[in-house]
């Protein structure tokens, strides 16, 4: 999809005034947070698992080339095939090639964020193939022609009424079927419609939460069962996965699984955790005849060992989105590309360029809640600050904010001068407020005063008060 991250400010303003979106966000927000808190406090070993999970990822990243080779070897030993793709275009070409060789017409697709990243649906549809998203949330946004607004709950921005209307418009014949009202009715209708697609699809595409070097397996973590049907019924199974998904062993995967479900949906484990290892064996009664893994880089190998290295530990649980005050206020679409929230604000500028993604790292108070809940202890605020530093260095920000920052830096590096300026500012602002203690408006501060008063400084600067107190003691 064409990113609109550069327009974050406008996107966010629109989102804040979208009454339906605000209703949907209000319903979703607290649910995720409360469920996660309950299930994490139920497990005394959570912190130990978190440390172990981080160590597993750090070890794997330090040996990433070895583990990828090992994984490739094991996939081949089980009769599967690994395809390497440097760019989204190469990844789409690889998938399309496999589909064409299989003479495919219909593709059943499970949820894959890498699939969104490389825009695989657009590529397949452009080549005349029919692609059906089979995860209910993904299906909803596919028929609404929208991108996902959350990495694990793609249709979280939609209300039940909106979904019912989408289904009625697409599936129903006017006057013949009764309108959809309840959640069970909606889910049942999707089940029936998509069942036929699973059964007639030629190719199934799924994502992967983990790739296991030890066994050559790809792992998906789901609740609906659509990923398993997509991987079992069609003749060909294609797995889309990015290179940082590899982990060494089944034991390592177990550690990460305990962290993932709890952090994502507040479950101890999802309904289905499946390990796919190669195509069907000669004596099997079902399963695909071909098993392909498309390994996507798309900038990740360039992150290795650099300033954003730690982002490669991300397991895509979405906890940082759920706990982010900015995401909770504006939803995922405002971020303008595939990955929203704090993890998206780090990844988007790296994948679509800092010029395009520049507003995202700035749309944060750096409150640190994301880092607190991240199961992989990724220092998201630090990485957001790094983007801001790059932005300043490359002179991408507006001249006024760059000058203001440069002026502040000049003062901050000269403590005596800084104190003098502060003292002057405090006295000046105090005088300007004429004893009211607050400003209704102030030049250069409309951004603040448009919505609330700005408190005026009272008395003296902190340093002056500190000196006085020390003197008294």
Partner 1 sequence: MNNSRAAILGRISQALGHEAAADAPAVMQRVNDPARGPQPQWSETPRERFLAKLTKVAGTYAEVASDAEIVSAVTDYLAAQTLPPRLVVAPHPLLAGVVWPEDWQVERRRAQGDDRISLAVAFCGIAETGSLVLLSGPDSPTTLNFLPDDFLCLLPESRIVPRMEDAWALLRTERGSLPRATNLITGPSRTADVEQTIQLGAHGPRRLHVLLRAG
Tell me: does residue 260 bind partner 1 (CB under 8 A): no
Tell me: does residue 40 bind partner 1 (CB under 8 A): no
256 three-class SS:
helix
How near is the Cβ of 380 to partner 1 at its closest, in Å? 22
Q: How far apart are CA 157 and CA 24, in angstroms?
A: 5
| 298-357 residues near partner 1, rule: CB under 8 A | 301-302, 304-306
Tell me: does residue 118 bind partner 1 (CB under 8 A): no
Q: Exposed, middle or buried: residue 113 (CB in 10 Å: 0-12, 13-18, 19+)?
A: middle
Tell me: does residue 63 bind partner 1 (CB under 8 A): yes
Maximum C-alpha span of the chain: 88
Among residues 116, 135, 310, 371, which is the contact residue for partner 1, using CB under 8 A?
Answer: 135
DSSP assigned state of 71: H
Q: How far is CA 61 from CA 245, 272, 381, in A?
A: 10, 27, 21
Tell me: does residue 41 bind partner 1 (CB under 8 A): no
Nearer CB in complex with partner 1: 305/325: 305
Tokens 């549809």 belong to residue = 125
How near is the Cβ of 99 to partner 1 at its closest, in Å? 15
- Residues sharing a CB contact under 8 Å with residue 253, sequence separation 6 or more, in sequence order: 210, 212, 219, 247
How near is the Cβ of 106 to partner 1 at its closest, in Å? 15
- Could you tell me how many residues make up the chain? 473
Tell me: does residue 134 bind partner 1 (CB under 8 A): yes
Q: Which stretch binds partner 1 (CB under 8 A): 4-12, 227-235, 384-392, 440-448?
A: 227-235
| 78-97 residues near partner 1, rule: CB under 8 A | 83-86, 90, 94
Distance of CA 274 to the CA centre of its chain: 22
| 265-294 residues near partner 1, rule: CB under 8 A | 265, 268-281, 283-287
Binding mask 410-429 for partner 1 (x = CB under 8 A): --------------------
How near is the Cβ of 283 to partner 1 at its closest, in Å? 5
Q: Which stretch binds partner 1 (CB under 8 A): 41-49, 119-127, 341-349, 452-460?
A: 41-49
Question: Dihedral sign, CA of 268, 263, 134, 131?
Answer: negative
| 153-172 residues near partner 1, rule: CB under 8 A | 153-156, 159-160, 163
Q: Which stretch binds partner 1 (CB under 8 A): 9-17, 53-61, 98-106, 316-324?
A: 53-61
**Residue 109 CB: number of other CB atoms within 10 A?**
29
Among residues 31, 368, 379, 457, which is the contact residue for partner 1, using CB under 8 A?
Answer: 31
- Residues sharing a CB contact under 8 Å with residue 179, sequence separation 6 or more, in sequence order: 164, 168
Q: How far apart are CA 294 and CA 73, in angstroms?
A: 14
Q: What is the dihedral of CA 3, 8, 10, 16, to 10 degrees?
A: 120
Tell me: does residue 184 bind partner 1 (CB under 8 A): yes
Tell me: does residue 363 bind partner 1 (CB under 8 A): no
Tokens 């799924």 belong to residue = 206
């Amino acid at each position: 999809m064409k990113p609109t991250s550069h327009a974050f400010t406008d996107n966010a303003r629109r989102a804040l005034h979208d009454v339906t979106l605000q209703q949907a966000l209000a319903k979703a927000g607290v649910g995720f947070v409360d469920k996660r808190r309950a299930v994490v406090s139920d497990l005394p070993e959570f912190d130990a698992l978190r440390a172990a999970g981080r160590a597993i990822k750090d070890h794997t990243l330090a040996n990433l080339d070895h583990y990828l080779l090992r994984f490739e070897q094991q996939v081949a030993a089980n009769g599967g095939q690994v395809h390497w793709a440097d760019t989204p275009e190469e990844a789409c070409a690889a998938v399309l090639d496999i589909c064409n060789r299989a003479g495919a017409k219909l593709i059943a697709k499970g949820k894959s964020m890498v699939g969104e990243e490389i825009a695989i649906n657009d590529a397949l549809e452009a080549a005349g193939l029919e692609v059906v998203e089979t995860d209910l949330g993904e299906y909803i946004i596919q028929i609404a022609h929208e991108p996902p607004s959350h990495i694990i709950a793609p249709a979280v921005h939609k209300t039940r009424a909106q979904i019912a209307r989408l289904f009625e418009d697409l599936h129903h014949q006017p006057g013949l079927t009764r309108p959809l009202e309840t959640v069970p009715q909606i889910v049942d209708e999707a089940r029936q419609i998509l069942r036929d697609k699973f059964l007639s699809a030629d190719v199934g595409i799924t994502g992967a939460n983990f790739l296991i070097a030890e066994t050559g397996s790809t792992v998906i973590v789901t609740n609906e069962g659509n990923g398993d049907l997509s991987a079992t019924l069609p003749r060909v199974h294609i797995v889309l996965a990015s290179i940082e998904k590899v982990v060494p062993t089944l034991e390592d995967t177990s550690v990460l699984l305990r962290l993932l479900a709890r952090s994502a949906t507040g479950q101890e484990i999802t309904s289905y955790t499946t390990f796919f290892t190669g195509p069907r064996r000669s004596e099997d009664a079902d399963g695909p005849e071909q098993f392909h893994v498309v390994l996507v880089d798309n900038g990740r190998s360039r992150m290795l060992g650099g300033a954003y290295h730690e982002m490669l530990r991300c397991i895509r649980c979405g906890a940082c989105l759920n706990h982010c005050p900015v995401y909770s206020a504006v939803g995922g679409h405002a971020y303008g590309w595939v990955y929203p929230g704090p993890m998206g604000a780090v990844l988007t500028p790296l994948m679509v360029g800092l010029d395009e993604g520049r507003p995202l790292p700035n749309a944060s108070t750096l409150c640190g809640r994301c880092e607190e809940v991240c199961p992989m202890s990724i220092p998201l605020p630090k990485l957001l600050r790094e983007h801001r530093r790059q932005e300043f260095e490359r002179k991408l920000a507006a001249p006024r904010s760059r000058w203001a920052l440069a002026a502040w830096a000049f003062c901050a590096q000269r403590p005596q001068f800084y104190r003098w300026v502060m003292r002057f500012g405090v006295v000046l602002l105090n005088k300007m407020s004429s004893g009211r203690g607050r400003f209704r408006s102030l030049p250069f501060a409309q951004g603040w005063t448009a919505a609330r008063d700005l408190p005026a400084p009272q008395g003296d600067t902190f340093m002056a008060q500190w000196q006085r107190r020390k003197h008294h003691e």
